[in-house]
Structure 1
Amino acid sequence: MGFEVRVDKDVCISSGKCVADAPAAFRFDDDEIAEPAAGVSALSDDHLVEIARSCPSGAIQVFDQGAEVALD
């Protein structure tokens, strides 16, 4: 089973970087806050970590079997 990804909606600044970098994996909700989309499961674990690291607000969190993956 691959990594799980979550977006902290209180931290997201709607920059759109994740949506631009992986449009099948992230989308904007009705409030223009990023959220994982159905395609997120198709991304490799390394790609998920790369996208999370590039989030300007740090809103994307990656988990491996329930434990948060360190992004630094």
Structure 2
Amino acid sequence: MNYHVEVKKDLCISSAKCVSDAPKIFKFDQDELAEPVSETTQEQLAVLIRLARNCPGEAITIYDENGSAISLE
């Protein structure tokens, strides 16, 4: 199963936590805001959930292949 990751640009504070901890999942765009590099696999999901939980701007949302947001609980 693949997951779609969304970074809400208005909430991203460019802390670089996601980019430095998971450069295969996130990169900086031209405005120095995080953006996902590609779809995320099941194997990357645990890392992605941890990053979303620890995002200081609460800017990361993860969606399953049906478009439903994944719970971070």
Question: Shorter-chain TM-score: what band?
Answer: 0.7 to 0.9
Q: Distance in 2 between matches of 1:48 and 1:4?
A: 11
Offset, 1:26: 0.6
Tell me, in whole angstroms, the C-alpha distance in 2 between the residues paired with 1:53 and 1:14: 15
Aligned counterparts of 2:12 and 2:67: Cα–Cα separation in 1: 21
Percent identical among aligned pairs is 46
Q: Distance in 2 between matches of 1:24 and 1:66?
A: 22
Q: What's the offset of the Cα at 1:47?
A: 1.6
Equivalent residue for 2:67?
66
Residue pairs, 1:1-72, within 5 angstroms: 1-38=1-38, 41-42=40-41, 44-64=44-64, 65-72=66-73
Residue identity in the other structure for 1:3: Y
Q: CA RMSD in A?
A: 1.5
Structure 1 segments of 4+ aligned residues over 3 angstroms from their partners:
none
Q: Kindly indicate whether the alpha-carbon contact (under 8 Å) linking 1:2 and 1:45 is maintained by their aligned counterparts in 2.
A: no
Cα distance in 1 between the residues matched to 2:59 and 2:13: 8
Q: Structure 1: 5+ residue runs without aligned partners?
A: none
Normalized against structure 1, the TM-score is what?
A: 0.85
Aligned letter for 2:49?
Answer: V
- Alpha-carbon offset, residue 41 of structure 1: 2.7
So what's the TM-score if we normalise by structure 2?
0.84
